[in-house]
Structure 1
Amino acid sequence: MSSKQPKLTSVEPESESDQFENRAKPAKGIYVLPNLFTTAGLFAGFYAIMQARLGHFEAASLAIYAAMVMDILDGRLARLTNTQSAFGSEYDSLSDMVSFGVAPAMVLFEFALSELGRFGSLVTFVYIACAALRLARFNVVASSDKAYFTGMPSPGAAAIMASIVWVSVDYDIDVSAISGLLAVVMLATALAMVSNIKYRSFKDANFRDQMPFVGLIIGVMIFALIYWDPPMAFLLFGLGYMLSGALFYVLNKFKHPSEDAEEE
């Protein structure tokens, strides 16, 4: 009888590069951190809807702003901790759909547009659909220009909706008299999200560089305006941001008419 000897296999030791990669990989538990902030943003959107249904419209508006803060923090944390993932990206997009698509539309509908009947419902649905289209396009269309967004970002649109409600509550405005105007503003904001207008992303801004003295003065004035009247300041900033994209779009069309003719 011949006894079979066990086959010996040699295990190569880890190379220095493999050991470095293993050390560089963050612990699996840290992936929970950015997703917790995404969940907090999702909850803020849900909370805004529930508060609007209860008639607490100022709290609903502030919840949308809280969702914006969470949306900023989860992305920053994912990059700082090197925990970006396809799951996190999809989860963040779904959370944005609730917080910046459904929530602001339903808050403004409960606040004013419900008085317009079916027309108010239609405008609300158009806003939600445009927010979904905006997020879907952002996910699938790769842009080489990181300095600009194509179409108004959904958080910016949501900020306008929340600011309108906040200002109306703060100034005790009779919204029944301006519900039609609010519907027009909501529709214009929805169309801005799915437009081809370029909006600055400010991702290329480097705050570590030196700035001119006038830039510091402008910054001081912005903080003073926010301190003086936060809801009105945020509303003006949001409307200004939306109109700035449209203004530069029109100016570029007039500046380069020959280029547009050649493309046709």
Structure 2
Amino acid sequence: MRKFSEILIVLALAVFLSAGSAFAYGTQITISDENYEGTGWYSNREDQETEVGMQANQSWDLEGWFLDGTSLTMVGGYDFVNGNQDLYSGDVFIDVDADSAIFGDIDGEKKGNFTVQETYGYDYVLDMNFNTSTYDVYQLTDTTTTITSLEWQNQGSNPWRYDAGGTLISSNNTFNYQTGLTDAETGFEGGNHNVVSGLDLSFIASDVPVEFITHFTMQCGNDNLMGQGTLAAVEAGGGGGSAATPEPATMFLLGAGLVGVAVMRKRFDKKN
């Protein structure tokens, strides 16, 4: 009986600990970049993974996307602010309806960061300024130009950056940046993690749920970070959020209930 009580207490603690981790950034929405081969760093996962044949270590790793309401977060071992070996961060691209983004195992003809009149199926871009922690939002059009990834065998990582064209939706939006986070704080492996959070997707919210794909890469295309999520329908009063996101109160009640059961069981055991 004592063992039963101890198990319940451990379960309750696990609920509280997992709730704290889950609510830090929201629900993870990372998906496969569909460019993989074999096992290890080139396998079909995102944490501890880079594109096939590319540099394979934590400083090049883009690890995951999270969604909390309309707030988007990305995590990586890659240094988003300073880059790595003079290869710098790109922009965040959004495919509304998750129906046209082009990614996967795609080769090009030659190496270089080329400016092209191509959106790769994306509808919006968050034009990131990592020096000032701000970004502008543009709706992309047929005349929009973007910049490709450097490596010819990494063209599934396109686009790297927004160049010009389209319609300005908003400007000087701010985001948060954290560096030096641990595995326990992020839920990823590698020992050192950087977090870009507070990217507001409310500009694509609607009175019906909105599915979307999000994309980010660095200049060389060494890793391609893809995510797929759903924004809940915006309510009449302006509410809404990410679909299927658990409520903190629910987790609290569940944890409290488990602790209560354990305590009552212990008292019952003493009486008998």
TM class by smaller structure? under 0.3
When normalised by structure 2's length, the TM-score is 0.20
> Which structure dedicates a bigger proportion of its chain to strand?
2
Taking CA–CA contacts closer than 8 Å with sequence separation of 6 or more, which of the two structures ends up with the larger relative contact order? 2
> Which structure dedicates a bigger proportion of its chain to helix?
1
> Which has the larger Rg?
1
When normalised by structure 1's length, the TM-score is 0.21
